[in-house]
Each structure stands twice: as structure tokens, then as C-alpha cells.
Amino acid sequence: MKAVIYARYSPGPQQREESIEGQLRECKEFAKANEITVVGEYIDRALTGRNDNRADFQKMIRDSEKKIFDAVIVWKVDRFGRSREEIAINKVKFRKNGVKVLYAKEHIPDGPEGIILESVLEGMAEYYSANLSQNIKRGMKENALKGKITGGNIALGYKVNDDKTFEVDPDTAPIVIQIFQMYDEGHTITEIITHLNSKGYKTSRGVPFNKNSLRPILTNVKYIGLYKYEGIYMQSTVPEIVDKDLFERVQVKMVKNKKAPARAKAKIEYLLTTKLFCGHCGSNMVGESGSGRNQKYYYYICTKKKREKACDKKTVKKDWIEDLVINETVNRVLQDDIIELIADNVIKIQESDKESSSLKYLQGNLKETDKGIKNIMKAIEQGVISDALTNRLMELEGQKAEIEINIDQEKISNVILTKEQIIFWLEQFKNGDVNDLEYRKRIIDVFVNAVFLQDDKVIITYNYTNGTKTINVSDLTVSPPPKYASSLKAREHILVEISGGS
């Protein structure tokens, strides 16, 4: 297997640049222990996992389309991202390109319980990130109130003092004034950009101007002596560069010149993609849409029927089958006894896989080193003594001591969840709104393994041992209820419509 390593360094008082090297080293050890060939590295420095504006991360996603590697190795779940939504979206992108995500420090086995274990770890990473973000914001707000820099890029026209407060940069402030004056005189954005670049001027990032870099300058309240942070405007904490009257005239003209944005096309998400299978031929069922009677219709269709016309499985309406699966999952899986069963299963796989690949690799090294020491001691006992042999013995004993320290550190750093933590995490799903899109997605992603759709029955398999439910249409009432009826009635309605769909 070929893999790449992704490492991320987040800024903060407890973070060091060396942490990148530590992540890379442990990911390489993981790869070696699992006989994985590392073919590349992607590194984002001084960035947060709470958003996906990570240059190397985005490049890695694009490169995954080229089929040059089979897996991405990251140190821990929180290096891949600290939002469940972003983690899920990115994993889907990699999965579509045939790429796995592997964690060097958090062993997550294949199989249904492994999916739930990964979800718990992702949730803990998001919780940690949210709390860390709040702590950082508190410190940033205090700095903002004092007129100090709170991070990010320094706006063009300013520089920062030793005490981290702003002062006017005499070299670049005239460029800012010129930008405002030209716009006020009626020059277009394109004309201003052309003029600035012809003069060799650069943005605060040191690159040529473009539309994306010019508009933020024209709306930045710092230039009139205000400092905005978290919706708070602070007067006179930042020195003025632009006259207030000029700034206000520019704002009026920008609003007037602004074109109405194009109406965004609604994105339809088919939540059962990769999990819904045809009960006739076993092929995947995929999302499709169609129009009729001035209305849009969304449904799932068997891929074999769609591409080869070789299956007679009827299509099924999107909302109906998704409602069925979600309601069944909420009603049958989110029960105290099932939650306890899932937690027990996750604990069992943690116990059986307690030793990570890195730990096994280190223990193998320790065994080989001990073997070398014993061989030398045996030779010495037989009267074979030399300086080279003595030096080699000292070298091996030093290696052994270092390996033992690394083993202890590895054991300490291994994340072992308690049963109470897992139950607490799963209990949160009981309080969701079945009509909320994000909740629906999480229910399916975490608990549903596969759905097999036949004409007279639906078989749902869940992510826990023996977690299979078969629902027969013949056992259900045929009268169709309103769209948002109770869970049971909605389930009956869905199955009847599946049976008689086209």
C-alpha cells in the first residue's frame, strides 16, 4: 500500500514547530510497522483544523484524484479536522477517490464498531476544538479592547510596534489613500487593479492585486480609526489613514455598484449514497432527479438499471426511504439496551487492539535488541572479549533504554475510551430533530452500515454486532398518513409507497 502523511501545526502557547516533526516521525513509524510505503508529505503550518482553508490539505484532496496513493496517514483524528461535518465531508471525498484515512496514534479497526469508535473520537476532537476556540477568543477580545493585533494578516498601510499595537506604515499608507481616491473618482475595480500592478505595488501578502484583495481594503474600518472584533467597534485604538468623509462616500458607491448576487442553486444531498443497495441484483442505488408538472422529483435508482437497463428494480422516492431508515434507527437503535451493547462492543475491540502498531513495532525492536545483548553476553562468557564487542554491547544497552522509554510514552499516549464516555456520546443522539439535515446525516453515517431494498421488504444492517433489522411491507398498514406524522405512521407510509412505486 502507498500512502502520504498529513501533518498540521496549530498556533498556541503549548504548540511548537517541532510538533510537526514529531507527527511525521510517528506517522512514519506507523507506516513501517504496517508495511506501508510513504510516497509524500503534506504539511500545513500555523493553521487551525476548524476550517478547510488549508493549502496543503486541499492540494492533498486534489492529488488523491490522480490515484497515486491509497491512504492518508494522520497522527490523530484532530489533525484531520476538528469539526465532524468537515471530517465527514473530506472522508467522503477521499473515499470516492479510493483513499483510506489512517490514524497513527488512534487505532481504529475495520468493521462496524470501528465506525462508531471513530465517530466518538471525532466528536471529542470537535468538543476540544470548540473549547479551545472559546479560550483563544477570550484572549483575542482582551487584545482587541487594547487595540492590539489579534492575529491574521496586517492590513495594508499599517505595521506593528514591539508592544503589538498598530502604527501607520509611511511606505504603504499612501497606496491605501490612492485606492480610496480612485474609487471615489469613479474608476472601476479593474482599472484600479491595473494601475496598482503597473506601479509594482503589492498587497500586504506581497503579491499583485486582484479583485479579492481590493474589496476588503475598501471596506476595512481600520482605515478610519475603528477596530472591529466580534461585532465590537472601538474608537481611536487604531491610527486613521483615510478621511472619514472619503471612506463613507466610497461605501455608498460600493453599495450602489454592487450587483445582485446570483441565486444559489440548492444542493440536494442523497444521504444513503454508498449505503443503499438493490435487493434484486446487489448493485448500488444512486440519487437521481427528474421534472414533471412544474415540479422536481428526487429518487434513488439501481445503477445496473440506470446504465445497462438490466434490472427491474423499481425506483424509490428519496425522502421516503431516508425517512424510513432514520426513523427505524432512532426508534430501534437509540434504546438503552442497544446503546449499552454498542458501548460494550467498542470496549472489547479497544481491549483486543490495545497495542497500537507503533507499540508493536517498538516491542519488536526491543526483542531484537535483547537478542543482540544476549548473544554478546554469551560470547563474553565463552571468553570472546574485544573492544569492538564491548562497544557494541554498550551501544545496544543504550538503544534498549531508549526503546523502553519510547514504549512507556506510547502506552501513556494511547487513547482508551471508557464505557461511560462512549455511552455519554451515544446518548446525545436521542435528543436530535429527525427533520434537521445535519442530524439525519449523522444518524446514517454513525449507525447505518447498509440498506438492502427489495420490493416486499427492507433490510437495514447497523454498525454493531448482529445489528440487522428486516421490515416486511405486508405487516404494515396501507393508509398513507400526512408527511410529518409520527415515526411509526411515517414508516408505514414509506414502505407502502416503495411497494407500489414506479
pLDDT at 389: 84
- 111 has pLDDT over 60: no
- 331 has pLDDT over 60: yes
pLDDT at 233: 52
- 112 has pLDDT over 50: yes
Length of the chain, in residues: 502
Give the mean model confidence (pLDDT) for residues 316-340: 90
pLDDT at 3: 95
- 141 has pLDDT over 70: no
Give the mean model confidence (pLDDT) for residues 395-422: 75
**CA 222/CA 158 separation, integer angstroms:** 10
Q: Going by C-beta distance under 8 Å and a sequence separation of 6 or more, which residues neighbour residue 231?
A: none
pLDDT band at 354 (very low <50, low <70, confident <90, very high): low
- 5 has pLDDT over 90: yes
pLDDT at 192: 94
- 198 has pLDDT over 90: yes
Q: Going by C-beta distance under 8 Å and a sequence separation of 6 or more, which residues neighbour residue 305?
A: 278, 311, 312, 313
Q: Is the separation of the CB atoms in 412 and 358 below 8 Å?
A: no
Mean pLDDT of the chain: 75
- 476 has pLDDT over 50: no
Over the stretch 233-246, which tens digit does the pLDDT of each residue have? 555 567 889 998 89
More confident residue, 479 or 399: 399
pLDDT at 69: 92
pLDDT at 232: 46
**CA 312/CA 27 separation, integer angstroms:** 48
User: For the chain, how long is the longest CA-to-CA vector?
Assistant: 98
- 468 has pLDDT over 90: no
Closest CA to 231 of 135, 344, 141, 98: 141
Least confident of 78-92, 185-199, 202-216: 78-92
Highest-pLDDT range among 7-21, 274-288, 423-437: 274-288
pLDDT at 296: 86
The residue behind cell 483486543 is 352
pLDDT at 12: 45
pLDDT at 278: 93
Give the mean model confidence (pLDDT) for residues 268-287: 90
What share of the chain in percent tops pLDDT 70?
68
**CA 279/CA 85 separation, integer angstroms:** 30
Give the mean model confidence (pLDDT) for residues 342-357: 70
Least confident of 54-68, 130-144, 208-222, 327-341: 130-144
DSSP 430: G
pLDDT band at 323 (very low <50, low <70, confident <90, very high): very high
Cell of 425: 456520546
pLDDT at 333: 87
More confident residue, 234 or 34: 34
pLDDT band at 131 (very low <50, low <70, confident <90, very high): very low
Cell of 322: 431516508
pLDDT at 413: 52
Cα(first)–Cα(last) distance of the chain, in Å? 44
pLDDT band at 133 (very low <50, low <70, confident <90, very high): very low
Query: What is the domain partition of the chain in residue ranges?
Result: 2-105, 157-257, 276-340+424-500, 357-413
pLDDT band at 48 (very low <50, low <70, confident <90, very high): very low
Least confident of 159-173, 184-198, 456-470: 456-470
- 415 has pLDDT over 70: no
User: What CATH number labels 2-105?
Assistant: 3.40.50.1390
**CA 280/CA 247 separation, integer angstroms:** 67
Give the mean model confidence (pLDDT) for residues 196-216: 89
**CA 173/CA 464 separation, integer angstroms:** 63
pLDDT at 270: 92
Least confident of 55-64, 146-155, 406-415, 441-450: 146-155
Strand (E) or helix (H) holding 137: helix 112-145
Q: Is the separation of the CB atoms in 31 and 70 below 8 Å?
A: no
Q: Which class would CATH give 157-257?
A: alpha beta
Over the stretch 76-101, which tens digit does the pLDDT of each residue have? 776 676 555 566 667 778 888 889 88
Over the stretch 448-464, which tens digit does the pLDDT of each residue have? 888 999 888 889 888 87
